[in-house]
């Protein structure tokens, strides 16, 4: 099998958005347009039952229907697309950020009535850090929203991102008639019913010939807007897009299927194929390389005591993955046989025989793997790790039975390696009284359940009022300055790097203004 050819046709991406912008709906519509499913509607039934409080329940549901899977693979126009789920509502966690370490492009979904919202901003910052090519989709045009030009300004100003519309909306709300392809100057007018269960019908008509169909007033208004956009003059270039410097913009209504096809086509034709990856020694591993390599970006445990398995999600970087192959873990040189690997097709999870760069494989993990581990077919390889992201929730552990201290320590260490939570220590109080940090509250639930089931330890978590964690960069004097103040504990992370916890942004800014040589990082410096 030609590895380079298979790699080149892969498109691995995730959708970033604020809750309720329409991610679930868009996901389903991408599947609908690719032909992977024929009738939309399963999402709704899933949502109705969606009271997830733990990843175990999530996992149980994944055994059920399509769209709940963490990874969906589907084909479109000769490309193999891998769509990775970025959990959003109650299941938002550090995993959501880590998934972005495993994709080559992102779709930024924005509700056009709301503009850039808080969660989108955060997720976009992670994309920027990785210089990920990002495509913007303005959703819910079937409702009334912001003026399209203002909306583009909002994205540019809030995110500091150059945007170039690829098409332009014709009206909005009940008047939403379609979009104009700004390259070909053809209108794509939507027809038919608006219930969205099957692909929408549309027709392409040269813009100049649309006056009668959409009315003179709307035609004039849209023509004027398009002129303004053209005057702004930013051109789309593949290079700027692939470097993450420019975001092409599409408009539509995921619910009604309007505008979904141009987005899917663009992803297929222009989104980034699998990229190379650097090892910590600085070697560049190309996807087309013969030697198999991959890395672990997510570990999900099944907390049902009857099925106590763990699945490690591996992104293939180079070479061809084969079922039952043996690999070497870069961190410690241990060998591991990858039996019963899973792939995630649109309809179901199934055993996978082969996978190529860009693909995601679910591996049964006997407890040997950690987030960020590199696996390779030959020799020891270590890619740059996956950084940790600033937690937003903090707690201390209260042990119900003090005789279980050993089990607790073992559990916390293992679970932090799996990325369930982050552990911090006070430098003077040592390792016996750790602080725990999580990006989403769900992570604490998972921690408690797993400590109980796997380590037989019952704990109470005492929540702390900190809201921010920042990695500290500075001199000894900086650290002394910080430690002398009482508003921030300066802790140490797993690598003994100083981390500051704070209750308010104000006190972080005060420190930045006053502490000598201080820099603060929201992402762990690797």
Chain residues binding ligand G4P by CB under 6 A are 17, 19-25, 44, 47, 88, 139-140, 142-143, 253-255
Nearer to ligand G4P, 20 or 289 (CB): 20
CA distances to 125, 138, 155, 179 from 165, in Å: 21, 10, 12, 11
**C-beta of residue 294 within 8 angstroms of C-beta of residue 314:** yes
| Among 359, 142, 183, 172, CA closest to 265 | 183
Q: How far is the CB of 4 from ligand G4P (least distance, A)?
A: 36
Give the nearest distance from C-beta 207 to ligand G4P in angstroms.
23
**Residue 412: strand, helix, or coil:** helix
Report the nearest approach of ligand G4P to the CB of residue 256 (Å): 6
Shortest CB 28 distance to ligand G4P, Å: 8
Distance in Å, CB of 250 to ligand G4P, minimum: 12
**How far is C-alpha 268 from the geometric centre of its chain's CA atoms?**
19
d(CA 434, CA 453): 21
* Number of Cβ atoms within 10 Å of the Cβ of 350: 10
CB distance 522 to 121 below 8 Å = no
Contact 27, 14 (CB under 8 A): no
Rounded to a whole number of angstroms, the minimum distance from the CB of residue 114 to ligand G4P is 11
* Residue 351 β-bridge partners: 342
Q: Which of 119, 121, 122, 123 has its CA nearest to residue 103?
A: 123
CA–CA separation, 432 and 430 (whole Å): 6
Dihedral sign, CA of 401, 406, 407, 413? positive
Q: List the beta bridge partners of residue 253.
A: 258
- CB closer to ligand G4P, 12 vs 25: 25
Q: For 393, how many CA atoms within 13 A lie in the half-sphere containing its CB?
A: 16
334, two tokens: 């241990």
Choose among 31, 57, 34, 33: nearest CA to 46.
Answer: 57
**Distance in Å, CB of 117 to ligand G4P, minimum:** 11
Q: How far is the CB of 390 from ligand G4P (least distance, A)?
A: 23
Cβ nearer to ligand G4P, comparing 72 with 79: 72
Q: Could you tell me whether strands 360-364 and 354-355 are parallel, antiparallel, or unpaired per DSSP bridges?
A: unpaired
Nearer residue to ligand G4P within complex by CB, 94 or 142: 142
Q: How many helices (H) and strands (E) does the chain have?
A: 15, 31
DSSP 36-92: S-SS--HHHHHHHT----SHHHHHHHHTS-GGGSSEEEEEETTEEEEEEP---STT-
Least Å distance, CB 191 to ligand G4P, is 17
Q: What is the DSSP letter of 113?
A: T
Taking CA atoms, 472 is separated from 158, 377, 378, 480, 498, in Å, by 26, 37, 38, 12, 6
Smallest separation (angstroms) from ligand G4P to the CB of 403: 45
Tell me the C-alpha distance between 486 and 504, whole Å.
13
Task: Indicate the residue among 144 and 506 with the shorter CB distance to ligand G4P.
Answer: 144
Residue closer to ligand G4P by CB (options 38, 44) is: 44
């Amino acid at each position: 099998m030609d590895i380079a050819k298979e790699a080149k046709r892969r498109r691995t991406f995730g959708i970033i958005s604020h809750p309720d912008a329409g991610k679930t709906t868009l996901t389903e519509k991408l599947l609908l347009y690719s032909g992977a499913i024929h009738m939309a509607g399963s999402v709704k039934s899933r949502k109705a039952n969606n009271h997830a409080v733990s990843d175990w329940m999530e996992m149980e549901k994944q055994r059920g229907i399509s769209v709940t899977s963490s990874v969906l693979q589907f084909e479109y126009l000769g490309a193999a697309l891998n769509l990775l789920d970025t959990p959003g509502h109650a299941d938002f966690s550090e995993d959501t950020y880590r998934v972005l370490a495993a994709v080559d492009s992102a779709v930024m979904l924005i509700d056009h009535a709301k503009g850039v919202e808080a969660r989108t901003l955060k997720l976009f910052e992670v994309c920027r850090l990785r210089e990920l090519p990002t495509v913007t989709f303005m959703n819910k045009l079937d409702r009334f929203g912001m003026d399209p030009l203002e909306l583009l300004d909002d994205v540019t100003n809030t995110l500091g991102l150059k945007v170039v519309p690829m098409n332009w909306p014709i009206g909005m709300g009940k008047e939403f008639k379609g979009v104009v392809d700004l390259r070909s100057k053809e209108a794509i007018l939507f027809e038919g019913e608006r219930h969205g269960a099957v692909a929408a019908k549309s027709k392409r008509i040269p813009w100049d010939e649309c006056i009668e169909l959409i009315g003179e007033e709307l035609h004039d208004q849209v023509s004027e807007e398009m002129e303004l956009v053209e005057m702004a003059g930013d051109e789309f270039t593949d290079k700027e897009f692939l470097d993450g410097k420019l975001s092409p913009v599409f408009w539509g209504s995921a619910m009604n299927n309007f505008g979904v096809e141009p987005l899917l086509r663009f992803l297929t034709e222009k989104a980034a194929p699998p990229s190379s990856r650097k090892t910590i020694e600085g070697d560049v591993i190309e996807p087309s390389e013969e030697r198999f390599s991959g890395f672990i970006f997510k570990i999900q445990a099944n907390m049902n005591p009857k099925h106590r398995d763990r699945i490690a999600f591996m992104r293939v970087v180079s070479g061809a993955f084969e079922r039952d192959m043996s690999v070497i873990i870069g961190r410690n040189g241990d060998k591991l046989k990858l039996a019963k690997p899973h792939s995630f097709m649109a309809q179901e999870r199934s055993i996978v025989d082969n996978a190529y760069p860009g693909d995601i494989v679910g591996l049964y993990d006997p407890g040997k793997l950690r987030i960020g581990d590199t696996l390779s077919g030959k020799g020891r390889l270590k890619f740059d790790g996956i950084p940790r992201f600033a937690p937003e929730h903090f707690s201390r552990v209260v042990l119900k039975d003090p005789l279980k201290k050993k089990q607790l320590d073992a559990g916390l260490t293992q679970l932090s390696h799996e990325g369930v939570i982050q552990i911090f220590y006070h430098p003077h109080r040592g390792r016996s009284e750790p602080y725990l940090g999580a990006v989403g509250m769900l992570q604490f639930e998972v921690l408690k359940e797993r400590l109980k089931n796997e380590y037989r330890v019952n704990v109470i978590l005492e929540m702390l009022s900190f809201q921010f964690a920042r990695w500290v960069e500075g001199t000894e004097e900086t650290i002394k300055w910080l430690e002398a103040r009482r508003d921030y504990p300066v802790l140490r992370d797993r690598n003994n790097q100083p981390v500051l916890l704070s209750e308010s942004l104000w006190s972080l800014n005060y420190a930045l203004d006053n502490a000598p040589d201080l820099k603060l990082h929201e992402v762990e410096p690797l």
